[in-house]
Chain A
């Protein structure tokens, strides 16, 4: 089956630094990827839609200058949390669909846990 991999699985950083999280589709091409954020004991919240070769589309209330998304290839999207603060500590999850197919299924990465000190 299709595999989506995220890196790193967990990261701890100091307040004010920037952190980059990678999302890769390992065995398929993904024109579109999605980034979610999940706080403890809460559901997933969609942050943005990442489109290969174009600008990401952000959901209402998500700061595009704080959460930079780049989708430079059909297998890689990156999320950079800029000037991270403790309130950005969360579980970040990406998902992807197989380009050119409607299988009805989205494939999710294993998530990246960010802790900002």
Chain B
């Protein structure tokens, strides 16, 4: 499985943007880049995914580097409810299994 590397933690102030980097230098041509987040004592929640082009949805934006070896999840205005562990995961579309790494713990200060 192609691996991802994320910072252990990041802090942000409420209503400020948060940029979460993810390195995936061994990504294959067919791997999708997925982001999930896990709030305390809950199951993970889907955030966004993409292949080559940047993606936006109501939760976040995903910026993918041209060589696809890295990506950045952008939370445009952090709220206290965005405090969670964010996981960047590569997934082959033929396989629905997700392999979770350590993720980035995001703390939002009021």
Contacts and interface: CB of A to CB of B under 8 A. Distances in A.
A4 B102 CA distance: 24
B99 interface: yes
Contacts, number: 51
B102 A43 contact: yes
A4 B44 CA distance: 11
Contacts of A45: 100
Contacts of B29: none
Interface residues of A, number: 25
A20 to B, nearest CB: 18
A49 B103 CA distance: 22
B110 to A, nearest CB: 24
Interface of A: 4, 6, 32, 34, 36, 43-46, 49, 91, 93-95, 97, 102, 104-111, 113
Interface of B: 32, 34, 36, 38, 41-46, 49, 87, 93, 96-103
